[in-house]
């Protein structure tokens, strides 16, 4: 009984709800947000050689503190998750919680640190280090808007796949043709179709770094058409995202407003 | 009778319909899709010198297998096509089938191989090799969305031509003027109007490789205006595609759904 | 009387109307369109040194033919223009016709040739040569869509000016600030604010040639913000053109269709 | 009484209203607009070394004139501001006026000049010089459209923040990963995550200067995905600004027109 009461209280503190929040919850979430933010800054600044040298102890101390903090957070969340209706069962509920998106993100934030103690392979340690940046995903708990993006991607699935197929066709056909045209003139730059795909992507997306570009008249003609086709590649996803986000932002805004709907078709009444 | 029965069965296996599919049809289409995909990968990887050397026999064997497979597929389709109402007549129907878009794509996938045996001209063989990438178009049978793109291009013909005319005018006028401005300062880069057109395309489409750009103050002034005009060039096709695709995706989605409409406001009932 | 009759007949041949055309009119306009197209090609190809050398006589003959043809066309149009209701008066009507957009374009196509005979200044001759490309504008008589573009620019005047003011503010503020930041690090590239404006335009329009870019951390920070602001610069005119063109294409398409309109507000009845 | 009468008259001259303007007001505002424009030109041209040398006295005289003119304007506006209902109180009204956006912009236009007399630190003087470009903001009094932009930013706050968060996530994750991939191949270019962020911004916004780009196959693969993701980054703000501006331009246009609505369909009557 006592344990349950404190568990429920802790659950309320950890849980991010859209209603009123207790002071304890506000303080805890402020600390958590600050820690994630500082982690992001620490990871970015740690990559700067001079800073890494001068503040080595500070960075390593902060890393220890973060991992301890996130580890405690992870296990406390695992303990109190049964307060959520979705994970009521003490064993199976907790197991299902472990494989929920939120818990996996929390695990991803701490696992690399522990795994790096089991290996001395510098290559692997480098990769595990890289994974620390995914601590950024811990923010997703607070960014409600990410759900909007997720929904848009799910609903506009077909259209986005169509766009991507259209992009892939244009990319493959144009890059293969460009390879056959430019290869003899620039055997180093357009050495193979995979190498030419890099030209294709940077041209279609209109990035145009300038490391690879056609120099033969025929190659420039094809390159011009691909650049123009790239404009169309911008148009399609723009239309899809525009309509998708507009629909969702409307729904999201109306959630709080007790809107009335037409009883016949569910359309909003104006 | 017996021949007709087996022909009908084979037609049902080859034909891609939107209704229920038999297991034989699913298996055949899976094999065909896999073969096309592997062909695409093989063509791309074959262009990498080191892979070409090491797996020469493998690539050449796979090419033989593909051509045999696609050739058999081509002739079987030609045999069974009379089961389709559009190509009923055994002679004229088959002739008309040969010139249908689908059959031409199938022919394009195998012809280059046979033609390359009739020539020893390396230049021609190179071009025939290039045509193998068009085997990718065999996918189009499965990508229903390509029909949407086709329809959009047909319906928005006028608007797209208007955009293209607007683009061509801007390109020709700006490139010719830029040639007269920059030619004396950069006689190698802006050597002629055709050479300057390359600058024009990469600027209007905002690719900007950086191989050609104005260096005189007047040239930079014109270049700035062209870059700004390029923004407008993005706006027009975006609008056209957005409205075109939106209309079609709606139609495409509603096809299966027998939608009803609200009698009060004419809105669709979900 | 006889003169008037032939004048009316010639007017009908020259005039481009949307109704039925006589065979003589179709032939004349085909010849005119071909001559303008060939002129465009000739001007472009003449700028290529090798072609200029080899086909010198051909180019110069074609130029003489074009100027003679366009000169006759100009004076015949001037003679018959009084058949148009707008230019009925033999003197004042013709004077007003001379200053109409169409007649000025026609004059611009031939004047440079005659003016170049009065000067031996190579610089001036070069500029007069350049003006030949504006013969392209003679096409505008046939491109009805250009009127749509003209109308959109006139109607969306305010919004386009707003966009341009927004662009100019961003350009001036960001370039001036960038000059103060980068000048000491790259005194040659960011030598003055006018020089930095070139960086500003290529960044905001996302062209990014790569001839000028910030190298100091502060300059890169500002450059990043300007690049992101450039995305917004794309958004505004896109919206304006999209809505503007959509409205006009609707009107243009409905012209032939006898649509009905609401008697109260002039809105189309669905 | 006399003082009040002249104060009211001067207020009417300075104040920009949308109704009828007196001749004195038109003249004063023309002079002010001209002075601001000339200031902008002077600041831009002064940065050109050769012009700075040759017209040194002219630039410095014009600067003195501008500061005197803007200073007088500032104090006259401060004197007459009490005629505005919002700032009626002679002391508190004026104090509130001083901290209004318009007055701060006016102060920013003159303060740097006076402050630069109190220091001999060339670095600080350089920064104070830079601030002169912000005199451009004095235009904002005349650009009513800036209010539209302001409103759009305020109303579409949530959506713009969502876009920016989405952009930041993509930027941070992709740049950190790219740093780990490319650092060993290009230790100078991709020296740290902050340095790689510059690559990220120029790629996502499709600027692509070409000073930093991946060279390893894995880096090119990631770079390709980031370039494609950049297309989506264009789509979102485009949609937001399009809808935002469209709504506001309608409101802005209707303000003067006392529009009526069709009783049948609720559409506006023109």
Range from A116-120, C44-48, D101-105, D250-254 carrying the lowest mean pLDDT = D250-254
Closest C-alpha among D199, B164, D229, D237 to residue A201: D229
Interface contact C173-D134, CB threshold 8 A: yes
Count of all residues that appear for chain D in the document: 270
CB–CB contacts below 8 A, A to C: 7
Find which of B41, B47, B240 to mutate to test the A interface (most A CBs within 10 Å of its CB): B47
Show the low-confidence residues of chain C (pLDDT under 50): 256-270
Interface contact A158-B44, CB threshold 8 A: no
Burial class (CB in 10 A: 0-12, 13-18, 19+), B33: middle
pLDDT of C269: 45
Find which of D47, D129, D152, D172 to mutate to test the C interface (most C CBs within 10 Å of its CB): D47
Q: Evaluate if residue B258 carries a pLDDT over 80.
A: no
- C contact residues 183-202, partner D, Cβ 8 Å cutoff: 191-194, 197
Whether B208 has its CB under 8 Å from any CB of chain D: the answer is yes
The span from the CA of C98 to the CA of C107, in Å, is 9
The span from the CA of C170 to the CA of C161, in Å, is 14
pLDDT of D251: 60
The span from the CA of D50 to the CA of C194, in Å, is 13
Kindly list the residues from chain B whose CB atom is less than 8 angstroms away from the CB atom of residue A210.
Answer: 208-211
pLDDT in tens, B71-129: 999 999 999 988 888 888 888 999 999 998 889 999 999 998 998 888 888 888 888 88
Kindly list the residues from chain B whose CB atom is less than 8 angstroms away from the CB atom of residue C206.
Answer: 206, 208
For helices A101-115 and A122-130, give the axis angle rounded to 10 degrees.
150
Q: Fold for domain B2-143?
A: 1.20.120
The span from the CA of C192 to the CA of D49, in Å, is 7
Interface contact B201-A209, CB threshold 8 A: no
For helices A193-204 and B23-46, give the axis angle rounded to 10 degrees.
100
Nearest CA in chain B to C145: B162
Interface contact A240-D238, CB threshold 8 A: no
Q: Evaluate if residue D241 carries a pLDDT over 80.
A: no
Query: Any idea where the domains of chain C sit in the sequence?
Result: 2-142, 153-254
Nearest CA in chain D to B265: D265
CB–CB contacts below 8 A, A to B: 135
Q: How many CB atoms lie within 10 A of CB D173?
A: 16
Whether A48 has its CB under 8 Å from any CB of chain D: the answer is yes
Find which of A191, A198, A208 to mutate to test the B interface (most B CBs within 10 Å of its CB): A208
Closest C-alpha among D171, C194, C57 to residue B218: C194
The span from the CA of B158 to the CA of C250, in Å, is 12
CATH number for the region C2-142 comes to: 1.20.120.350
Q: Chain D: give the shortest CA distance to residue A268, in Å.
A: 17
Range from B174-178, B244-248, C8-12, D89-93 carrying the lowest mean pLDDT = B244-248
Q: List phi, psi (to 5°) of A268.
A: -65, 140
Closest C-alpha among A171, C129, A233 to residue B238: A233
pLDDT in tens, A66-120: 999 999 999 999 999 888 888 888 889 999 999 988 899 999 999 989 988 888 8
The span from the CA of D179 to the CA of D192, in Å, is 7
pLDDT of D149: 73
The β-bridge partners of D268 are D261
The β-bridge partners of D260 are D269
CB–CB contacts below 8 A, A to D: 112
Q: Are A208 and C208 in contact (CB under 8 A)?
A: yes
| CA D134 from centroid of its chain's CA atoms | 8
Range from A145-154, B254-263, C159-168, D139-148 carrying the lowest mean pLDDT = B254-263
Closest C-alpha among D202, A231, A229 to residue C234: A231
Which of B202, B206, B246 has the CB atom closest to A239's CB atom?
Answer: B246
Of B49 and C254, the structure prediction assigns the larger pLDDT to: B49
The span from the CA of D210 to the CA of D203, in Å, is 10
CATH number for the region A152-254 comes to: 1.10.287.70
Q: List phi, psi (to 5°) of C202.
A: -65, -25
Find which of D130, D135, D209, D259 to mutate to test the C interface (most C CBs within 10 Å of its CB): D209
Q: List phi, psi (to 5°) of C262.
A: -60, 125
Q: Are D204 and D170 in contact (CB under 8 A)?
A: yes
Q: Evaluate if residue B131 carries a pLDDT over 80.
A: yes
pLDDT in tens, A108-138: 999 989 988 888 888 888 888 888 888 888 8
Interface contact D210-B206, CB threshold 8 A: no
Interface contact A148-D169, CB threshold 8 A: no
The span from the CA of B153 to the CA of A232, in Å, is 11
pLDDT of D255: 52
First to last CA, chain C: 52
Whether B20 has its CB under 8 Å from any CB of chain A: the answer is no
Kindly list the residues from chain D whose CB atom is less than 8 angstroms away from the CB atom of residue C241.
Answer: none
Q: List phi, psi (to 5°) of C268.
A: -65, 140
Tell me the three state secondary structure of residue D53. Answer: helix
**Residue listed under structure tokens 């890059």:** A175
Which of A172, A227, A234 has the CB atom closest to B238's CB atom?
Answer: A234
pLDDT of D32: 92
Show the low-confidence residues of chain A (pLDDT under 70): 1-3, 16-20, 144-146, 242-243, 245-270
ipTM above threshold 0.90? no
- D contact residues 251-270, partner C, Cβ 8 Å cutoff: 261-265, 267-270
For helices D145-155 and D157-182, give the axis angle rounded to 10 degrees.
70
Count of all residues that appear for chain C in the document: 270
Please state the rounded mean pLDDT for residues B49-73. Answer: 92
Please state the rounded mean pLDDT for residues D135-140. Answer: 86
The span from the CA of A47 to the CA of D255, in Å, is 55
Band of residue D248 on the pLDDT scale cut at 50, 70, 90 = low
The span from the CA of A36 to the CA of A142, in Å, is 12
pLDDT of A84: 86
Q: How many CB atoms lie within 10 A of CB B243?
A: 18
Domain C153-254: give its CATH architecture.
Answer: Orthogonal Bundle (1.10)
CATH number for the region B153-269 comes to: 1.10.287.70
Whether B249 has its CB under 8 Å from any CB of chain C: the answer is no
pLDDT in tens, D63-84: 999 999 999 999 999 999 888 8
Interface contact B159-C126, CB threshold 8 A: no
Task: List chains touching D (3+ CB pairs under 8 A).
Answer: A, B, C
Q: Are A134 and D173 in contact (CB under 8 A)?
A: yes
H/E element holding A51? helix A49-54
Kindly list the residues from chain C whose CB atom is less than 8 angstroms away from the CB atom of residue B177.
Answer: 130, 133
pLDDT of C2: 60
The β-bridge partners of D269 are D260
Whether C14 has its CB under 8 Å from any CB of chain B: the answer is no
* C-alpha dist (Å) from residue D199 to B180, D178, D202, D211: 35, 9, 5, 8
């Amino acid at each position: 009984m006592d344990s349950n009461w404190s568990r429920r209280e802790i659950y309320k503190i950890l849980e991010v709800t859209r209603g009123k929040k207790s002071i304890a919850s506000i303080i805890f979430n402020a600390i958590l947000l600050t820690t994630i933010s500082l982690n992001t800054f620490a990871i970015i600044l740690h990559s700067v050689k001079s800073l890494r040298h001068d503040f080595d102890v500070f960075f390593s101390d902060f890393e220890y503190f973060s991992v301890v903090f996130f580890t405690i957070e992870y296990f406390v969340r695992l303990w109190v998750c049964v307060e959520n209706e979705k994970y009521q069962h003490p064993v199976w509920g907790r197991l299902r919680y472990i494989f929920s998106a939120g818990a996996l993100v929390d695990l991803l934030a701490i696992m690399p640190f522990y795994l790096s103690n089991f290996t001395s392979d510098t290559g692997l340690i480098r990769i595990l280090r890289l994974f620390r940046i995914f601590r950024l995903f811990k923010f997703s708990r607070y960014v409600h808007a990410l759900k909007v993006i997720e929904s848009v991607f799910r609903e506009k699935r077909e259209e986005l796949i169509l766009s991507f197929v259209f992009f892939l066709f244009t990319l493959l056909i144009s890059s293969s043709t460009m390879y056959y045209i430019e290869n003899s003139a620039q055997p180093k730059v357009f050495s193979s179709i995979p190498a030419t795909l890099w030209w294709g992507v940077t041209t279609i997306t209109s990035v145009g770094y300038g490391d690879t570009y056609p120099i033969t008249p025929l190659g420039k003609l094809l390159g011009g058409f691909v650049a123009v086709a790239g404009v169309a590649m911008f148009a399609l996803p723009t239309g899809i995202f525009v309509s998708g986000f507009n629909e969702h932002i409307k729904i999201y805004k109306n959630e709080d407003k007790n809107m009335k709907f037409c009883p016949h078709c569910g359309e909003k009444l104006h």
